[in-house]
Amino acid sequence: MPKRTWQPKVRRRLRVHGFRKRMQTTDGRNVIKARRLKGRKLLSVALTWRKMPPK
């Protein structure tokens, strides 16, 4: 049986999909802008392994 394709890594997740990566390109900035306008609580992937602060 072959190895599973999803081997999650926090560092790669942030480097590929993180806020700072999004801000490097025009399209990425447009993604952040669209999510702000829509009212998203999370604009990009976060450190989910840390405990999120209470509401």
Handedness of CA 21, 26, 31, 35 (dihedral sign): positive
Q: How far is CA 4 from CA 10, 11, 12, 13, 17, in A?
A: 17, 19, 17, 17, 21
C-alpha–C-alpha distance, residues 21 and 2, integer Å: 31
> Assign residue 36 a region: left if phi > 0, alpha if psi is -120 to 50, beta otherwise?
alpha
Highest mean pLDDT among 6-15, 22-31, 44-53: 22-31
The pLDDT-based confidence of 39 (bands split at 50, 70, 90) is very high
pLDDT per residue as tens digits for the range 14-30: 999 999 999 999 999 99
* In this structure, CATH architecture of domain 9-45: Orthogonal Bundle (1.10)
